[in-house]
Amino acid sequence: MTKAKRRGKRTRKEKVDMLIVNANELVTLKGGSEKPRTGTQIQNLGIIRKGGLAVKDGRIVAVGKTPEIRKSFSAENVISASGKIVMPGFVDPHTHLVFAGSREDEFQMRVEGVSYMAILGAGGGILRTVRETRRAGVERLVEFGFKTLDVMLEHGTTTVEAKSGYGLTLKDELKILGVMKRLNQLHAVDVVPTFLGAHAIPLEYKNNPQEYVNLIIEEMIPRVAEKGLAEFCDVFCEKGVFNLEQTRRVLVAGKNRGLKPKVHADEMSMFGGAELAADVRAVSAEHLLFASDEGIKAMADKGVVAVLLPAAAFSLMTGRYADARKMIDFGVPVALGTDFNPSCWVENQQLVIAFACHFMRLTPAEAITAATINSAHAIGRTSEVGSLEIGKKADVIVLDVPNHMFLGYRFGVNLVDKVVKNGRLVVDKEASGIKTVGLF
Ligand code: FE
């Protein structure tokens, strides 16, 4: 090729909206969108050293080595990630985003040794939050949810699943799902709604839980589905809450109306929730601290994603965690979420990754896969998010660490330097950073 021709080629660079270049590690998670990763595949991060990417109209249009990206694309907005890592925004596949009030006094009781189930049995826990959420107006709930999403975004989460379940009447469940819809419209973070009317037996049905299950099946699910307010239907399947038979009825009723099943399974006891999740072909089973070997095998067989929530286990203070290693060995795809709720108040997926490494012995690479592409599988969003690939949303985070193994290793602080959501720079620590003034 002649010099002139080469020059000519350089001038034909495609103009795009943004380039992110020179990442020490560009963690792409490429190739995990078809099937969730498990076994040894979960360690495969698809890292490109000195990597970069191009963004146009909110989407990723190129991923590769920085010189290749620079050669083909130009943009006014160029972000240098020199010395840092770049990866997909975190996907949080399990939150209870919308509620009113707080329960710090119950936290103190739990520190002093009172069990979570004892607090719930005495009308506290979920039931207390239900009382406060029923009283709260839409505006107050939207304001609270918005603030929470801000904190999540600052910590690098760009997509969250959100469960209802603090209303437990048709009117209040619709109110909460409506708030989630508003939040999805108002806030940069994408909110994926799950109907969790079967979160607890409300006090008014204490002596007739079956009637409440009927209400969920006959009134709530049809209305929620008809209004298009949820994609998933979840049940808190646990001794003293919803039994296996009730859980199955609710999940099947949801499925018949197009709501994909999820289960809060085997959190406090070995209850058969994992087996049931496999049996009803749930998209995911969540918690799983006490899942049986049979249940784990059945989940692997049916491709049910295990959404593990080590921050919730941490907040239970029993020292028990889900057996993530066994699940990965058996071929279950593992995802990680916060379980953000009034008894596990954490918005930060980076801390969840640290807990997963320390308490469940996931490597940082495994935990990163679990908190991104596998989480996207758990909420049916793999065509949009969870990896840095051409055509996906430009939901990208820059972390101020030299390599991915720092995730989990350096914990308790926010490693986020920048967050790009739908191709827009929405968090920039560099620009808003604290200016240290020397005392000299
Ligand atoms: Fe939960």
Domain with CATH 3.20.20.140 in the chain: 91-378
Ligand 1 centroid vs 139 CA: distance in angstroms? 24
Measured CA to CA, the distance from residue 222 to residue 159 in angstroms comes to: 26
Structure token pair of residue 431: 């620009």
Ligand 1 centroid vs 322 CA: distance in angstroms? 14
Ligand 1 centroid vs 321 CA: distance in angstroms? 15
Ligand 1 centroid vs 204 CA: distance in angstroms? 22
Ligand 1 centroid vs 375 CA: distance in angstroms? 15
Q: What's CA 408's distance to the chain center, in Å?
A: 17
Contact 276, 259 (CB under 8 A): no
Which pLDDT tens digits describe the chain residue by residue (440 residues)? 455 455 555 568 999 999 999 999 999 999 989 999 999 999 999 999 999 999 999 999 999 999 999 999 999 999 999 999 999 999 999 999 999 999 999 999 999 999 888 898 888 999 999 999 999 999 999 999 999 999 999 999 999 999 999 999 999 999 999 999 999 999 999 999 999 999 999 999 999 999 999 999 999 999 999 999 999 999 999 999 999 999 999 999 999 999 999 999 999 999 999 999 999 999 999 999 999 999 999 999 999 999 999 999 999 999 999 999 999 999 999 999 999 999 999 999 999 999 999 999 999 999 999 999 999 999 999 999 999 999 999 999 999 999 999 999 999 999 999 999 999 999 999 887 666 666 55
Ligand 1 centroid vs 163 CA: distance in angstroms? 8
Ligand 1 centroid vs 10 CA: distance in angstroms? 53
Ligand 1 centroid vs 268 CA: distance in angstroms? 12
> Which residue type sits at 347?
E
Segments in 259-323 forming alpha helices (H): 273-279, 293-302, 310-316
Ligand 1 centroid vs 433 CA: distance in angstroms? 34
Q: Which fold has domain 15-88+386-436?
A: Urease, subunit C; domain 1 (2.30.40)
What pLDDT is stored for residue 165 in this prediction?
Answer: 98
What pLDDT is stored for residue 120 in this prediction?
Answer: 82
Ligand 1 centroid vs 429 CA: distance in angstroms? 31
Ligand 1 centroid vs 91 CA: distance in angstroms? 16
> Which residue type sits at 200?
A
Ligand 1 centroid vs 294 CA: distance in angstroms? 23
Ligand 1 centroid vs 108 CA: distance in angstroms? 20
Contact 250, 194 (CB under 8 A): no
> Which residue type sits at 221?
I
Ligand 1 centroid vs 395 CA: distance in angstroms? 25
- State the DSSP H helix or E strand holding residue 254, giving kind and residue range, or none if neither: helix 244-256
Structure token pair of residue 167: 């209303």
Ligand 1 centroid vs 17 CA: distance in angstroms? 38
What pLDDT is stored for residue 435 in this prediction?
Answer: 64
Domain with CATH 2.30.40.10 in the chain: 15-88+386-436
Measured CA to CA, the distance from residue 440 to residue 419 in angstroms comes to: 35
Ligand 1 centroid vs 261 CA: distance in angstroms? 14
- Say which residue the tokens 């008014």 belong to: 204
What pLDDT is stored for residue 6 in this prediction?
Answer: 53
Measured CA to CA, the distance from residue 114 to residue 120 in angstroms comes to: 11
- Closest by alpha carbon to 29, among 435, 322, 396? 396
CA distances from 39 to 43, 44, 227, 336 (A): 8, 10, 39, 16
Ligand 1 centroid vs 312 CA: distance in angstroms? 8
Measured CA to CA, the distance from residue 312 to residue 234 in angstroms comes to: 17
Q: Which CATH number fits domain 91-378: 3.40.50.880, 1.10.1060.10, 1.10.3720.10, 3.20.20.140?
A: 3.20.20.140
* Interaxial angle between packed helices 170-186 and 126-135, expressed in degrees from 0 to 180 and rounded to the nearest 10: 80
- Using CA atoms of 353, 177, 282, 96 in order, give the dihedral in degrees to the nearest 10: 30
Q: What are phi and psi of 357, to 5 degrees?
A: -70, -45
Query: Largest alpha-carbon pair distance within the chain?
Result: 86
Ligand 1 centroid vs 221 CA: distance in angstroms? 19
> Which residue type sits at 51?
G
Structure token pair of residue 43: 């360690």
Measured CA to CA, the distance from residue 277 to residue 292 in angstroms comes to: 12
* Interaxial angle between packed helices 138-154 and 170-186, expressed in degrees from 0 to 180 and rounded to the nearest 10: 50
- State the DSSP H helix or E strand holding residue 60, giving kind and residue range, or none if neither: strand 59-65
